[in-house]
Every structure is written in structure tokens, then in C-alpha cells.
Amino acid sequence: MAGGGGGCRRGREQLELERLGQAARAGSCPPSPPLSVCSRQAWSRDNPGFEPEEDAAAAAAGPVLEMDVEWGSGAASSLGSGTGGPAGGGRRARRGPAGRGGAEGPGRLSGPPDGAAPRRAAWAKRLARRLRGLWGTRLMEEGNTSREQYLKSILRELITYMVFLVVLCVLTYGTVSSSMYYYTRVMSQLFLETPVSKTEKTDFKTLSTMDDFWKFTEGPLLDGLYWEMWYNNKTMAENKSFIYYENLLLGVPRIRQLKVRNGSCSIPEDLKEEIKDCYDVYSVANEDTAPFGLRNGTAWTYTNEKDLNGSSHWGLIATYSGAGYYQDLSRTREVTALQIASLKENLWLDRGTRAAFIDFSVYNANINLFCVIRLLIEFPATGGLVTSWHFQPVRLIHYISTFDFFLAACEMSFCLFVLYYMVEEVLEIRIHGLRYFRSVWNCLDILIIVLSVVAIGINIYRTSAVDMLLKKLLEDQNSFPNFEPLAYWQMQFNNIAAVTVFFVWIKLFKFVNFNRTMSQLSTTMSRCVKDVIGFAIMFFIIFLAYAQLAYLVFGTQIDDFSTFQDCIFTQFRIILGDFNFTEVEEANRILGPVYFTTFVFFMFFILLNMFLAIINDTYSEVKSDMAQQKAEMELSDLIRKGYNKAMIKLKLKKTTVDDISESLRQGGGKLNFDELRQDLKGKGHTDAEIEAIFTKYDQDGDQELTEHEHQQMRDDLEKEREDLDLDRSSLPRPLSSRSFPRSLDDSEEDEDEDSGHSSRRRGSSSSGVSYEEFQVLMRRVDRMEHSIGSIVSKIDAVIVKLEAMERAKLKRRDVLGRLLDGVTEDERLGRSSEIHREQMEQLVREELERWESDDTGSQMSHRLGTPLGPSGQPRSRSSRPSSSQSDGVDAGAGNGGSNIHV
């Protein structure tokens, strides 16, 4: 019978092939290609970033024959050449190794069989497909991709991204070292903390008058800039100053000031006789550009910003331009002292002065660092002065040491990564269009690429500008080297690099979210967005009200409340516990304590706890929802699976088949589910795998494997071991339907696909559900249907019994009512008691007989499982007595009773 079945099957296939050939020769369109061919065409056409696996490519070797001829006129000959007979159990035979370039059918459209052009075209297509595969991400995958394939794309994307992150961290951290901090520290101690004289404790930070400014320039500034003698009074190198004996003073220092013109503000009419001059606060419109004093040299004549190659500077009081009156000092201490004395004697600083800058740069060859220093003294319109400073250590000379060349290699790698991600984002935008920008992570990718390109541009400009500036400095060492623009761009580069690294680290949440535990944070934040926005509106209304109150009440007396933005920051500090209550109380003895007490009560005890309550409530909801969700395969599971496969191939770990076989040998006879689960859990298997295996063979569902089920599992495990041995020896493995029972449709699908991969032989579909999981779910559904059927039948029986009880109750009530009515009527009409007794006995006897007949019918229907209708006929399970039917029954009984009385 088996042979006859195989012959019939082969005959049907031969007839089908002949029919296809005739249809092709007749020029008619044959049936559509198999599903596997369509799916592979869709993969290669619609998914430029997808790279099929090697086993899938090998499995597609047969159907490619139909693809090459595009189901055209040569389909019959191609099928004939690609089909080797009915071998392989009725499946299409795989095309031979020479099928693409060797003996192919004459109907092939690509030209002569031995032509070089088709081979080159095929090679170019394969190369292009592999190149597209380099940019394969999960956004380029089809929607029906299996969960495992989806996670593989994510894992590859994560590994690539981690390499990019490591390269970026090496670059950013390689340009910063602890030497920069110590460099800034020693230079600031020298110029900021040195007293102006031995008898005074005033230093640069505590300067308060113009006289203090000149004392600083004549004392600590000259002493710090010019180190011409060793501690043993020996002279150092001529015309060179090494600060701390290590830091070379580059060129000469520069002093520059900005002034405002007289009459830039208005004087009230009542005070014009008392006040003749008026100098407004600094602004570019009020800036004085006229010569003054000696009116010769750059110190007494105005120079614009372009000629000075300067830039604006943001001070504590105002933002100052890069122009002004400047004096370049000398390389020797004596000449510089004379220049400063001349400026002081001729009143270089006057009432119109609003800012004075002291700029110079030093270089330390030991650590290859420049330090660009700017000391700023601001003269506000209120009188006095305010000091600030800026020390910027920068590494402007690159590629000297071995580590520098390693950083150069990392810079090249970083540029390649940026180019790689640019191509990747372009491909994703091309596939998804404007929908691409709906994802926050995609927008973050674009932002990282933009910041990286800007950082690369700044680095290139900075490197080229340093070379030009150093060349100019070496030509004229008595000039001022303006490193301030380079320091500015270095600061911008550091800021951009810091922001880029921050966003790159934040993007790791994109990959961490595929873990259930880690995704709770992002899910919690996304769910509570609306509540947090509503809370934030309420919070900032109260917060800004308190900030306005504090600014108006304490702004004139407390530095922390001197500006509105300072009030905002100060109130955030109060929330965190950093405050000075004494200053607030001294500023206003009534409103100060009231402000502080109410602010802490409302903001800290009420609003802040409301915010925490919103977060906690949402987190609890997310946690409960995730506990009810179905457990899916995660990245950790995929990595663990790959690790186990590697250990098995290296023979360092037993396979699942070996573990189950060992458990069966140890169990003997009947095997309980709990025993198997405990044993396999100890060997590293998951609950899902153990339950799937046990449910497959526990056909009766009693949570125990009988001897027959035990033997069937052993047989299947032995066959699985044979398949694994064949797979290890790299031999073609036949399609096995022995390990797992399968339907006819699944077998036909596998025969059409003709795949040699074990996962595809087990029927893994594109939806990501394996055949084993499908069988487990089918058995569970069958059990549920069986259980639900029995429950429904019991519910029907209960409903029928309740209906019978309800009818009996209504009848009893009606009979008793009629009896009472009869007694009353007899007494009213004066009938004899004998007639009344006979009628009552007859009525009761009839009712009892009817009730007994109803009870007998209900019991019979309960035994047979079919409830009876109101007429005693069998009623379907889904039917229910209607209200009209119930009323009819009761009405009939009532009529019968009344007839007896009549």
C-alpha cells in the first residue's frame, strides 16, 4: 500500500509538471510561484538591508530556477532540468551544483549557459546584497519576521553601536587628563590668590578700587609673568620667561580696556548744576571710540574688533566686544614695569572705563598643553569693580606621542562610523518616509550624527588654525599671540563632545528596553507623561509666584536673590536643602520667615510628594501589567542560546536530548512533571522548554508519563540524537517528521520550501511561533474546549432544574389560591362539606400526579444530558424557554383548575 501511494503521488506530480510545461509552451500564465519563493522575492526586493541566512539561501536553490526565468516561456525546460525525478519522498529535487553556470535548460533567458556576463551579474548581485546587509537593522526587517531573527538584528546593531561607543569614549577621554586640572589650579593660585603686597591681604579676587587694580598689575601680575631668576639668584635664559620654571610665556601679554562716552546718560534738570558728567552702563551703542590722554599709540586710540581679531566676551555685568584701547607689554620685567607706570601716571583708567582685560598664554612642553588665560576687571556704573577670570587648558598640538597616533586611528574610525550611520539613516528614511521621524530614538540618531559632524568640522578648523598661528608666533616673538579664538572653539568642541557622549550613552536605553526589567523605566515615564505635565503646570505656577515674591522682597539685599534667574536657582536649592535662613530673616523679619515656611510646606511636603505619588502609582500599574504579559524571547535568551550552542559544539556541555534521556533513565517507569522539571531546571533549561516537551507527550493530561508515553519520548529522542549527529558531521539532513507530529499542510509547506535547516524542518513560521509551541497551544485549546463543554452541559442542567422549580412554585401558588377561593365560595354559597372535600381531594390528586410526571421527565433529561422543553420534548442545549412559553404553561394550568371548579 505504501508503494502504491508513492506511485500515485509521483504520477500526480508528473501530471502537474506536464501541465505546467504545456501552459508555458502555450504562452499562458502558469500558477503563481510557491509561498516560499514569493517570500524570498519579497525579502530581496522590499528589504534592501536584509541578508538571508546561509541555510535559507541553500534552501532557495531549487525555487531560484523559477525566479531566473520569471515564470516565462522557459519554465517547462527549467523545471525539467531542475527536477531529478520523484526522489526525496515526492519533494522537488534540489538543483545540482552546476545548475547556474552549467547544464541548464534551453529556455533560460540570461543568454548562453557558459557566458561570462551572467556570472558577473550574479556575482555583482551577491556583492550588492552583502553590502546592503551591512546596514541591516530592525527597521529594515519585514513586519512578519520571527522574534529570533528580529533579536538577531538588534544584537548585531547593539554590537556595532557598542564599538562606536567605545571609540567615542576613547577619543573624548583621551583628550582630557588630570594634568589639565592641576595645570589650571597652579596658574590660578599664582595670579588669583597672591596678595597685592606683603602688608595687605587683598588679592585679585578681592579687588575693590582702581588703586587696588594698579597695585595688582605692579605686584602679583609682574611677579607671576616674569620668572627671570632662580631661587639661588642665578639668571635664567635671556628674554624668556618660564612661569614656575616649566611654563613658557608665549609672546607678550596684552592689557585692553573698553570705555563709554561722557553724556551717554541723562541727568535730571534739578541736578545738572551739581553733576556735570554722566557715564551710562556699558553697551556697544554707548562705547567710546575717540582718542584720549596722550592720543598716540594703541593704548590711547581706539582699535575695532576686526583689526584686533577679537571676539565678544560674556562678563558678570555685561557682554563686551573685542575692540578697545590696548597696550602690548614687553618680554622683560623692566620694560613692562615702565609701560604700566606710564599708563597709571597718565590716567589710563578713568570714570568712563567699564572693563579691563589682561590676556596672555603659556605652554608646558612636559604635558603638551597650552593655557590661555584671561583676567577680567569690570567697573560697573555704581563704582568699585568686579573681577572674574578664565583659565582654559587646551591641547593644540597633536600627533606627537604613540598614544596620539592611536587617537588618530580612533578619529578615522569615528569618521567611518559617522559615515556608516549616515548611510543607515538615509536607507531607513527611504524605506519608512516621514513615519521614520515619529520615533524619538530615530530623532536622537539624527541629532547624534549632526553633533558628530559639527565636532569633526571644529576639530579640523582648530588643527589648521593652530599651525598658522604658531608659524606667525615663531616669526615675531614680540607680538601678542591671540589664542583666545582657538580657546573659544576648543570650549565649543568640548561642549559638543560632552553632549554627544551624553546622548550616545542615553541611546543605550534603546537596546536595554528589550529586557522586561529594564523597559519598566521607559514604560513608566511614557505612561505618566500626561499626569506629569499637568502636575508641572501646577508646580511652576506656585514656584514662579514664590520666585517673583523673593525677587521683589530680597533682591536688593541678598546676592542669591539679586536677579530673577538667581531666585529660581535658589529656590531649587531650598528644595534640595541648601539654604541660608539667616540672610532671609535679616533681609525682612516678617516676610522672610513667612516666605520660607510656606514655600517649604507647599513645595516640599505637598507638591514634591504628589510628584512621587504619580511616579509610584504608574510604576505599580506597569509592573502589574508586565507580570500579566506573555514572556517573549529576549536578548539575554538569544545570547544564552548561542552560548549553549557553542558549548555543545565544543563538547563542553550536553545537549537537551542528552539531558532529557538522562532524566528518563533516572526516572524509570512513570515520570512526574515536577520531577522532570526539577531535574531539567537544575541543568539550565527554562520552564517554557520543559513544559513544551512534557505537554507534547503527556497526551492524557494527567501530569505523568505512562510507559507508552515514556517509550515514545525515548524513541523520538534517539531520532533527534541521530539528526544532531548528522548535523554535526555537516551532512545533508533529511526532513524529519518523526520528532514532532505534524499536519498535512505543514508537510506540504516543508516539501515546497525544501529547506535543510532544523528550525525550518520543525515548521517555524514567519510569525515567530515554532511548531512545538503551536502544538502545545493546540492541545491546551482542545483541553479548554473539552472542559468548557462539560461545564456548559452542567450549567444547562442546572438552568433546566431551576426552571422546573420555578414552574412548580408558580403552580403551587396557583393551586393554593384556587383552593382558598373554593373554600370561600362554598362558605358563601352554603355548599355541603362532603362535596367540597371530594373536589379538594380530586384537585390535590391531579396536581400531585402532574408534579410527579414533571419530576420524572426532568430526571430522565438530566441522565440523557438533553433538557426537555415545556411540552416534554427534547430541547437543544442552546434553546431557552421564552417568557411567552412560560406564561402559556402557567395559563394552561390555571385554566385546567378553573374547569374543575366549574
DSSP 777-840: HHHHHHHHHHHHHHHHHHHHHHHHHHHHHHHHHHHHHHHHHHHHHHHHHHHHHT--HHHHHHHH
Q: Percentage helix, strand, coil, to 5, in the chain?
A: 60, 5, 30
* Sign of the alpha-carbon dihedral angle for 129, 133, 138, 139: negative
- 281 or 747, higher pLDDT: 281
User: What is the spatial distance between Cα 565 and Cα 544, in angstroms, rounded to a whole number?
Assistant: 10
Q: What is the rounded average pLDDT of the residues 433-438?
A: 88
C-alpha distance across the termini of the chain, in Å: 81
| Structure confidence at residue 730 as a pLDDT band (50, 70, 90) | very low
Task: Indicate the range of 199-213, 343-357, 639-653 predicted with least confidence.
Answer: 639-653
The mean pLDDT of the chain is 74
Which amino acid, one-letter code, is at 335? V
Q: What is the pLDDT of residue 185?
A: 94
- Closest by alpha carbon to 659, among 678, 632, 638, 634? 678
Return the percentage of the chain with pLDDT > 90, whole number.
32
Q: What is the rounded average pLDDT of the residues 409-413?
A: 93
Find cell 551739581 and name the residue: 274
Q: What is the rounded average pLDDT of the residues 655-681?
A: 65
pLDDT(7) > 70: no
Instruction: Count CB neighbours of 755 within 10 A.
Output: 21
Task: Indicate the range of 19-28, 400-409, 427-436, 747-756 predicted with least confidence.
Answer: 747-756
| Structure confidence at residue 70 as a pLDDT band (50, 70, 90) | very low
pLDDT(372) > 70: yes
pLDDT(253) > 90: yes
Find cell 468548557 and name the residue: 788
Which residues does residue 363 pair with via DSSP β-bridges, in sequence order? 248, 370
Which residues does residue 377 pair with via DSSP β-bridges, in sequence order? 356, 387
Burial degree of 411 (CB within 10 A; 0-12, 13-18, 19+): middle
pTM of the model: 0.59
| Structure confidence at residue 658 as a pLDDT band (50, 70, 90) | low
Cell of 97: 551544483
Buried/exposed 763-783: b ≥16 CB within 10 Å, e otherwise:
bbeeebebbbebbbeeeeeee
* Sign of the alpha-carbon dihedral angle for 602, 605, 608, 614: negative
| Structure confidence at residue 571 as a pLDDT band (50, 70, 90) | very high
Return the percentage of the chain with pLDDT > 70, whole number.
65
Q: What is the rounded average pLDDT of the residues 203-215?
A: 94
Task: Indicate the range of 236-245, 692-701, 742-751, 853-862 predicted with least confidence.
Answer: 742-751
| Structure confidence at residue 46 as a pLDDT band (50, 70, 90) | very low
- Where residue 94 falls (left for φ over 0; alpha for ψ -120 to 50; beta otherwise) is beta
Cell of 79: 523545471
| Structure confidence at residue 687 as a pLDDT band (50, 70, 90) | low
- 387 or 728, higher pLDDT: 387
Q: What is the pLDDT of residue 849?
A: 76
Asked if 585 contacts 597 with a C-beta cutoff of 8 angstroms, the reply is no
pLDDT(872) > 90: no
pLDDT(14) > 60: no
Q: What is the pLDDT of residue 532?
A: 92
